[in-house]
């Protein structure tokens, strides 16, 4: 039986899995087809790709900065240079923006390189059996001596409620949604924009995928994010009216850019139900040495990838202090 089963291959799950794998046998399970979670990359038309989740890595904590820089040296990550504009359309002096060489899930792929991944496996139940955990997927049942869950708060609560303290369950974390649109703009417009922030009711951010220099094309490819307020309004209904909401957001974007609406083609509209939470939980992670269950994720600390990484590192410290019967 393996020592640790880590549920979720986002940044927190990938980080804790990599750390644990130095000492223990570890497997990852994720419901998605690929690793990355919210740091994901969508390929369309061969080489064209969109970072439709996490836009870029940035850091406040020097240790996360050192980790990112190490991965840049190893050619896993790189700087996203270019023209990053604020909503006045003036160039802003920005903090460095760091992205994956091929896609923003490169970091996860690197961390999980030597770890067994069980993908396409949605977990629907977990049971503690005194000496081990039984983890029920829609297709398979897994067993592990210890369990780590790295899902967003709401999904964690749903799966593990029975085994978590009331204090944790009552944290009242509410993660906001985000609606993301992936667009092609026909005919290369030399707009010289890498990313833009907007002061708009519908759209808050746009990234020009061409500016990441992962592919060349005679057309522009954009990832557009709706504002949190607008995303909250439509997250539960957008699936039924995908064309309507895609067109509405595209029209708004073409108006802001002063471009022809007809030059845009929608690839996909994606809804992140649990995109981020602004409020910290007051703790960095959760470890219960009785049930041998750990939790980590960005939501413990804040809305960024850095929070997910810090949470996983803190959980590792806690696990190291525990005597495990492995
Ligand atoms: C649109 C968007 C833009 C963002 N932009 C930025 C940015 O620019 N900079 C930044 O630092 N951060 C950004 N973030 C936040 C960043 O993506 C997250 O902080 C980080 O990726 C969270 O990682 P995580 O491991 O905690 O969670 P996740 O990445 O959510 O990982 C959880 C994993 O669990 C899996 N899972 C869930 N339920 C189940 C189940 N039942 N069975 C199996 N698997 C399951 C999911 O598939 C997922 O892979 C953005 C997020 C979004 C959505």
Taking the domains of the chain in order of start, what are their residue ranges? Answer: 2-45+103-174+279-321, 176-276
**Predicted pLDDT of residue 93:** 59
Q: Is the CB of 296 under 6 A from ligand 1?
A: no
Q: Is the CB of 123 under 6 A from ligand 1?
A: yes
**Local structure of 76: helix, strand or coil:** coil
| Protein residue with its CA nearest to atom 26 in ligand 1 | 297
Q: DSSP per residue over 127-176, as a string?
A: EE-SS-EEEEESS-EEEEEEEEE-S-HHHHHHHHGGGS-HHHHTT---PE
- Residue 311's nearest CA partner among 153, 159, 103 is 153
Q: Is the CB of 53 under 6 A from ligand 1?
A: yes
Q: Is the CB of 48 under 6 A from ligand 1?
A: no
- Residue 21's nearest CA partner among 114, 132, 117 is 114
**Predicted pLDDT of residue 4:** 98
- Residue 202's nearest CA partner among 164, 169, 245, 147 is 245
Mutate-to-test residue for ligand 1 from 54, 103, 223, 299, highest number of ligand atoms within 8 A of CB: 54
d(CA 20, CA 149): 14
Q: Is the CB of 82 under 6 A from ligand 1?
A: no
Q: Is the CB of 308 under 6 A from ligand 1?
A: yes
Mutate-to-test residue for ligand 1 from 117, 151, 197, highest number of ligand atoms within 8 A of CB: 151
**Predicted pLDDT of residue 325:** 58
- Residue 309's nearest CA partner among 62, 76, 11, 40 is 11
Phi-psi region of 187 (alpha: psi -120 to 50; beta: other; left: phi over 0): left
- Residue 86's nearest CA partner among 76, 74, 95 is 95
Residues in the chain: 326
Q: Is the CB of 35 under 6 A from ligand 1?
A: no
**Predicted pLDDT of residue 283:** 93
Atom of ligand 1 nearest to the CA of 30: 44
- Judge: domain 2-45+103-174+279-321, CATH 3.50.50.60: yes
- Residue 274's nearest CA partner among 8, 3, 2 is 8
Q: 308 and 282 in contact (C-beta within 8 Å)?
A: no
Q: Is the CB of 178 under 6 A from ligand 1?
A: yes
Spacing, Cα 105 to ligand 1 middle (Å): 10
**H helices within the chain, ranges in order?**
11-21, 62-73, 106-111, 153-160, 166-169, 228-234, 242-257, 305-321
Contacts of residue 137, Cβ cutoff 8 Å, sequence gap at least 6: 29, 118, 121, 122, 123, 124
Give the residue carrying structure tokens 């996490």.
Answer: 54
d(CA 272, CA 38): 8
- Residue 2's nearest CA partner among 25, 20, 19 is 25
Q: Is the CB of 105 under 6 A from ligand 1?
A: no
| Protein residue with its CA nearest to atom 50 in ligand 1 | 54
> Rounded to the nearest 5°, which phi and psi values hold at 67?
-65, -45
Spacing, Cα 191 to ligand 1 middle (Å): 30
Task: Tell me how far apart the terminal alpha carbons of the chain are, to the nearest angstrom.
Answer: 10
Mutate-to-test residue for ligand 1 from 38, 141, 206, 300, highest number of ligand atoms within 8 A of CB: 38
Question: What is the CATH code of the structural domain delimited by 176-276?
Answer: 3.90.660.10
Q: 100 and 77 in contact (C-beta within 8 Å)?
A: yes
| Protein residue with its CA nearest to atom 53 in ligand 1 | 275
In the structure encoding, which two tokens stand for residue 13, read together? 């799950």
Which of the residues in the chain have pLDDT under 50? Answer: none
d(CA 272, CA 202): 16
Question: Across the strands, what pairs with 269?
Answer: 181
Spacing, Cα 151 to ligand 1 middle (Å): 8
**Predicted pLDDT of residue 190:** 73
């Amino acid at each position: 039986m393996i020592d640790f089963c880590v549920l979720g291959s986002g940044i927190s799950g990938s980080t804790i899995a990599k750390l644990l794998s130095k000492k223990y046998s570890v497997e990852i399970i994720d419901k998605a087809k690929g690793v990355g979670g919210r740091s994901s990359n969508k390929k369309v038309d061969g080489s064209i790709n969109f970072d439709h989740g996490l836009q870029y890595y940035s850091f406040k904590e020097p240790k996360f900065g050192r980790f990112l820089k190490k991965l840049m040296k190893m050619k896993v990550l790189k700087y996203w240079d270019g023209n990053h504009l604020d909503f006045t359309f003036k160039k802003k002096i920005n903090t460095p923006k760091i992205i994956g060489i091929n896609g923003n899930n490169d970091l996860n792929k690197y961390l999980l390189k030597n770890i067994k991944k069980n993908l396409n496996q949605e977990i629907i139940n977990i049971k503690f059996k005194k000496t081990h955990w039984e983890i029920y997927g829609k297709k398979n049942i897994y067993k592990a001596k210890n369990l780590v869950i790295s899902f967003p708060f709401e999904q964690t609560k749903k799966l593990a409620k029975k085994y978590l303290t009331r204090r944790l369950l009552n944290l009242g974390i509410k993660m906001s949604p985000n609606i993301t649109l992936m667009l092609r703009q026909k005919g290369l417009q030399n707009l010289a924009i890498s990313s833009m922030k907007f002061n708009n009711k519908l759209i808050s951010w746009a990234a020009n995928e061409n500016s990441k220099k992962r592919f060349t094309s005679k057309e522009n490819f954009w990832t557009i994010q709706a504002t949190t307020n607008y995303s909250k309004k439509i997250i539960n209904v957008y699936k039924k009216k995908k064309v309507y909401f895609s067109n509405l957001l595209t029209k708004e974007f073409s108006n802001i850019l002063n471009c022809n609406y007809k030059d845009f083609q929608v690839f996909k509209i994606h809804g992140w139900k649990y995109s981020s939470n602004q409020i910290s939980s007051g703790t960095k992670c959760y470890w219960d040495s009785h049930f041998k269950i750990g939790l980590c994720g960005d939501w413990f600390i804040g809305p960024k990838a850095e929070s997910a990484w810090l949470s996983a590192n803190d959980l590792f410290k806690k696990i190291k202090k525990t005597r495990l019967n492995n």
